[in-house]
Structure formats: C-alpha cells, structure tokens
Amino acid sequence: MRIPLLILACTISVVSHADDLASKNLNALLAKMTSMQAHFEQHTLDPKNQPLQTLSGEMHVKRPGFFRWDTVKPFDQQIIANGQSVWIYDPELQQATKQKLDKQVGNTPALLLSGDSSKIASSFMVTQEKTTGKNQSAFILKPRDKDAVFESLRVSFNGSQMNAMQLKDSLGQKTDIFFSQIKLNGKISPTVFQFTPPKDVDVIDE
C-alpha cells in the first residue's frame, strides 16, 4: 500500500467568529513562510493504531504553487508541482501521472504548504487548539469538499515553524508527518520543481 500530501443561531455565530479568528491566526503564520525545506518522517496507523507504513524523505516548498515531495525509504516516489501541474512519478512502476494543480491541490495538504493562504478559509473549516507549551500552536482543518482525500488535518507550529501534520481519513486511518532539519525562507533553485518523464515511462494525463 502506498499512501504518497478536510444549531442554534447564536451558537453558529460564535463558532463562525472562532473559525474566522483561527483562519487569521493560521494565515499570519503561513504568511511568514515563503519557502521551506525539510526532512520528513511519515507514519501511518490503522484504526486500531497498528502500524501500516513508515516513509521518509525530503520536501521542498516555494509559495505559491511549487512543492516537491521525495520519498526515499522504503521506496522511491516523487510528487512535484510546478505552479500549474502536479506530477506523481513512481520509478519502480515506471509510471508518471499528471494532474492540474487546481484540480488536485484543494483535496490535499499541498494547499496549506504551497498554496495561497488567503484561500484556506474557503477550502477548510479551521479551528485552533488550546496549547500549553510556550510558542506552540496547533490548528485543525476540515475540508469543505466532500470528495477530499482526508477528513481532518492537524497542523502544529513551534513559533513560526511548522513541525508536524496529522491526517485522518473517514475510515479511521491516521498519518503523522514530522519535519526536521527545517530551513525556512531559503533560496530554492527553480529546477527543483521541474519534471520531465524519463523515456519508457507510462504517462497518465488526468
């Protein structure tokens, strides 16, 4: 399995205000991030919290619209967005899938990492958790799109630095992603986000 990244009127009014504030707080943190490079560890658990899969690799993000997710262990896989298209390349299967960025990004955490932060509120319902740690903050995002590939996304920050994400799907499966060796707002070569399918690779254009 490969798991390559949503009453009463007075009550509704209070929740809406809280959601607006949470969105503003999240946007304020994301606005400080123009680019990000990091090592990631990804752990997926089944509904009984039994391990299903562990992945690791490197990620690059440049806002808006550019990201690269390179899984290195236990298999090679690349997910690359160049501002217009998203490529998913699987060397072992000799297959590359191409999708339009605007078609794919609203259903994945890629919108949060590389997209326009001002559009997050239109794609997700956002709430902010109460945290006790100094400079710690965490947000829960639930997709407004019923066809999203995840049910909820938790994003945590240490200061202005995103350090973890947790995705849950409708079947109870949970995926934790931890970032380390983080570099914020450094220069990333445009070639990092370019992809040309190798010869003899099956290309699926969606």
Range 48-66 average pLDDT = 92
Using CA atoms, how far apart are residues 58 and 145, in angstroms rounded to an integer? 28
What is the residue range of 197's domain? 9-205
User: Could you tell me the CATH number of the domain that includes residue 19?
Assistant: 2.50.20.10
Over residues 2-51, the pLDDT tens digits come to 544 432 222 223 333 446 889 889 988 888 888 999 999 999 999 999 99
Coil vs helix vs strand at 74: coil
Over residues 76-121, the pLDDT tens digits come to 999 998 988 889 999 999 999 998 876 545 556 665 677 777 777 7
User: What pLDDT shows up at residue 99?
Assistant: 87
User: What pLDDT shows up at residue 19?
Assistant: 66
* Number of independent structural domains in the chain: 1
User: What pLDDT shows up at residue 113?
Assistant: 75
The larger pLDDT score, comparing residue 18 to residue 175, is at: 175
pTM: 0.83
Strands in 51-62's sheet, in edge-to-edge order, are 124-128, 136-143, 152-158, 161-168, 174-184, 35-45, 51-62, 66-73, 77-82, 85-90, 95-100, 202-205
- 178 falls within a domain: yes
Over residues 180-200, the pLDDT tens digits come to 999 999 999 999 999 999 998
The larger pLDDT score, comparing residue 186 to residue 170, is at: 186
- 4 falls within a domain: no
- 58 falls within a domain: yes
User: What pLDDT shows up at residue 144?
Assistant: 83
- 1 falls within a domain: no
- 155 falls within a domain: yes
- 2 falls within a domain: no
Find where tokens 């997050």 sit: 120
- 113 falls within a domain: yes
The larger pLDDT score, comparing residue 100 to residue 139, is at: 139
